[in-house]
Structure 1
C-alpha cells in the first residue's frame, strides 16, 4: 500500500514521535510511505529519524492556512505518488489534507489528538473550519484514545470515530547502576529524587501549576529536583516563575532534546500537570521506561494510569499534586513496584505492531477493501 501521512510540522511532540514509530513498523512490512510536513525543513530529530529509515519527505510551507496554491500542490503530490490512502494529524493537516485528498480522489483518515482545543479566537476559528472540512471530506476519523473519541462525538455526529490508542516502542530496561550513572551524568548527585516531564512548553501543559506544586513539595523534601525537557512559546513565563519561586538551583530546563526518551530513566517519577490532553505519547514512553506516573486526571490518562502504575489528581490543583508526589516519593520500594506495573501495562496494551495492525485495517476500510493475505499473515504471527 502507498501511504501518505500529513502533519503540521516535525517539531517535538507526540504526534511527531508517532510518525517515527509508524514508519519503522510499516516500512518493514513492505509498504511505501511518504510523510508531508506543512512547514519548512528544520532538520529536526524527527526528520533525521525518518530520513534514516528511508521515508520520503515532502515540505509544503505557506504563510496562510487556506492557501489555494498549497492545497492544489498538496493534491498534486498525492496524485504524483499514487497514494492509496492519506492519514492526517493535527488541525492544519486535518483541514488541508482532507481538502487535498478530496481533490485528488484519495480517501482520507483524519486523526484527533486532543479532547479539546486551545482557547482563543483564532484557535476557535480553526477548530470550526476543521470540524466542517473533516465532516465533509474525510472518509474515516481516528481518535488516539477513548476519552478523545468520546469528547468528539458531538462534534462529528455523522461520522463514526474509530479509537486506536497510541503506541510507543518498548526500550530495553536499564539496570539500577545504569540509571544511577545516567542521573549522575545529567544532574550530578544521583542519590536525590528526580521528577521528569517532557513536552511543549505551552499553556495547555499546566507548567505554572507544576512549578507551584514542586515548590510546595520542596518544603517537605528539599533535595528533590525537577527536569523539564522541551521548548516552546511559554518558556519566558516559565523562567520568570522559576525565578519568582527561587527554584533556579532545583529546576532544570533542558530545552528540546533529540535524546529525550533516552533520558527518562534518570527520573524517579514522571509528572504531568496538564489542563487537557489526548493520550500523551510522553507518558506512555515514561511508563515503557519503567517510571510511575503522577499526573492530572485529564484526557485518556485515567485509561492508562491503572493497575498501580501511578496516581492521578484533579487538574489546576497544585497542592494536591504536591501531596501525591510527596506520598509517592516517601516509599521508594512502592515507586519501584509502580514503575514495573507501568512498564508491564504498556508492553501489554500499546505495542507498535498491534497499533499498526489497527491502522492498516482502517485504511483498507477507507478504501472499501479487504486486507490482502500477506497482511493477515503478519497479524497472526
Structure 2
C-alpha cells in the first residue's frame, strides 16, 4: 500500500456508535434534516443515507430541502421521495425569502421539539432566523468549505459566525477543526463524525455492457474521476498528468462523471491536449452503482476535501484509489491495500502514480471493501449521530448570538 501519509493529529470529541438503546431514547425527539442543494453530490447522498438510516432505527427523521430557485429540478427532494423517505420541499424564490423562514418555522412547530440538523451555510442561516423565537437543540455538519471565489469565502465567514449559535458541530476531517476554534467555538462542541454510504448491492453484471456503450473494450484500463467539475477538484491537472500516458498507450482511458462550472473548460482542454478520444465526459449520473465497476482505478486529485463519499464508494466496490493527501483521505486509504496518495497539486507525482497504477490491471481491494462495510454503513453513521443528538441540551436554553 502506498497510502502512508499520516493524518494530522488533533484533540476532538469523537462520536462513536452506541448501542441500539440510543434510538429508543430518541423516539420522542424527531430530527429535521435541513439542506439547500444544487444537485446530488456527496453531501446530498450522505444526508439521504442518514435520513433513511435514522428512520430505519425508529427515530423520526424528515428531510427538508430548500428549493433552489436557479434549478428546474430539485434532485435531492426528488430522490428522497423516490426512496420513500419523509421529505418536504421548502419554498425559496430568491437569495433571501421570508417565506422560507415561515415554512421552516411551520415544520418545526408541526413536529414539536425536534433536533434541527443543518448541512450547509444557507440552511444554517435559515435555521438561525427560524429559531430566534423558538430555541431548539441544533447540530451542523461541515461537509467541507469551497474557497474558489470571493463570494464563497464570504459565505464561509458568515457560516462560521452562525455556527457559534449551534449546540454541536460535526466535522468529517481534522483539517476542519482549526477554523472552528479560531472562530471562538468551544472544543467541547466539536464532534468528529465519519460519513456513511449506501452500500452496493454487488450486482455488476452490466459493467461490460456499459463499457461497450462508452466505446471501451474489456482490455482497456479505465481511470475514473467522480466529482463536481469545479476548481477545487483539480481535474485540469489530471488531464495534464494523464496526457503522456494516454498518448503512449491506447489501452488507457479516463472517464469523468459529474457536472459543474468547469465542464466546458475541461472538455476544451482535453481537445487541445490531443486526448479527447481517450477522455469521456459523462455528465451527472444517477446510476453510480452501475458505473463504479467499469473503473479499474478511482482518481481524485482534489486540492481540498472533507471525507469524500466517492472514496468510500470506490472502497466499497473494492477499487484501487489514487488521491490527494487532503482532508480525511489519508485516514481512509490507511485501510486499503492498493491506495496511493500524492501531494495536492503535485502534477509530476500524479503522473508517476497514474503510470504505476495502469501497470497493475485487475487489482481489487477486498480489505477496503470490508472496512467500509463495517465502519461506514448508514447504520454506523446514524449511531454516531445519535450519540451527538443525545449530548444536546433539552428544553429552552440560551446560545451565543451570532
User: Fold conserved (TM > 0.5)?
Assistant: yes
Q: Which of 275, 281, 287 pairs up with 1:253?
A: 281
Residue 302 (structure 1) shift: 0.6
**Counterpart in the other structure of 2:228:** 200
Residue 173 (structure 1) shift: 3.3
1:91-106 equivalence runs, <5 A: 91-106=121-136
TM-score, structure 2 as length reference: 0.83
Distance in 2 (CA, whole Å) between partners of 1:45 and 1:269 is 28
Partner SS state of residue 276, structure 2: coil
Distance in 2 (CA, whole Å) between partners of 1:103 and 1:244 is 57
TM-score, structure 1 as length reference: 0.88
* Residue 148, structure 1, aligned to residue 176, structure 2: yes
* Residue 30, structure 1, aligned to residue 58, structure 2: yes
**Counterpart in the other structure of 1:85:** 115
Distance in 1 (CA, whole Å) between partners of 2:332 and 2:178 is 16
Residue 44 (structure 1) shift: 4.9
1:79-228 equivalence runs, <5 A: 79-114=109-144, 116-135=145-164, 137-149=165-177, 152-159=180-187, 160-174=189-203, 179-228=207-256
Greater Cα offset, 262-271 or 345-354: 345-354
Q: Which of 334, 340, 343 pairs up with 2:369?
A: 343
Partner SS state of residue 187, structure 1: coil
Q: Point out the structure with the larger helix share.
A: 1
* Residue 59, structure 1, aligned to residue 90, structure 2: yes
Residue 63 of structure 2 contacts residue 86 of structure 2 at CA under 8 Å; is this kept in 1? yes
May I ask how many residue pairs the two structures share in their alignment?
A: 362
Residue 158 (structure 1) shift: 2.5
Seen in structure 2, the aligned counterparts of structure 1 residues 178 and 231 have a Cα distance that, compared at 3 Å, is closer
User: Any gaps of 5 or more consecutive residues in structure 2?
Assistant: 1-28, 396-402
User: Any gaps of 5 or more consecutive residues in structure 1?
Assistant: 370-381
Partner SS state of residue 36, structure 1: strand
Residue 178 (structure 1) shift: 5.3
Partner SS state of residue 228, structure 1: strand
Residue 90 of structure 2 contacts residue 103 of structure 2 at CA under 8 Å; is this kept in 1? no
**Root mean square deviation, CA, Å:** 2.2
Seen in structure 2, the aligned counterparts of structure 1 residues 209 and 152 have a Cα distance that, compared at 3 Å, is farther
Partner SS state of residue 249, structure 1: helix
Seen in structure 2, the aligned counterparts of structure 1 residues 155 and 292 have a Cα distance that, compared at 3 Å, is farther
